[in-house]
Amino acid sequence: MAPSQDPLYAGLGQAVRMATDLLAALIVGGGLGWACDTYLLDSTPWGMIGGLVLGLVAGMRNAYRSAQRWPKT
């Protein structure tokens, strides 16, 4: 009941985690920017561009954070 001890699977889990960390922040940033553009301000496409940039930064930050929690082996 401890598959995470297997180095192959532990590494696989970490890799999958970081990849989705990057992707999800990009989706959220772009989505928030797009929503700002369409519903709040009439600023197409700048809100989405800014949102994507911020999302990229936030994704890297999240990935960096989960890398900091990397179990020391």
Partner 1 sequence: MEESPLHQFELENWVPISLGGLDVSINKAVVFMWIVIAVAAVLMVMAGSARKLVPGKMQSLAEMMVDFIRSMILDTMGKEGMRFFPLIATLFLFILFSNLIGLIPGSYTVTSQIIVTAVFSFVVYGISLVLGFMLHGVKFLGILVPPGTPGWLVPLMIPIEIISQVARPVSLAVRLFANMTAGHVMLAVLFSLTIGGGLLIGWLPFAFTVAIYGLEFGIAFIQAYIFSILTCVYLGDAFHLHGHEEHAH
DSSP H or E segment with residue 69 = none
Instruction: For residue 32, give the amino acid letter.
Output: L
Whose Cβ is closer to partner 1: residue 4's or residue 38's?
A: 4
**Is the Cβ–Cβ distance between 51 and 33 less than 8 Å?**
yes
Binding to partner 1 (CB under 8 A): which residues in 2-41?
A: 2-4, 6, 9, 12-13, 16-17, 20-21, 23-25, 27-29, 32
**Is the Cβ–Cβ distance between 19 and 27 less than 8 Å?**
no
Q: Which residues bind partner 1 (CB under 8 A)?
A: 1-4, 6, 9, 12-13, 16-17, 20-21, 23-25, 27-29, 32, 51, 54-55, 57-59, 61-62, 65, 68-69
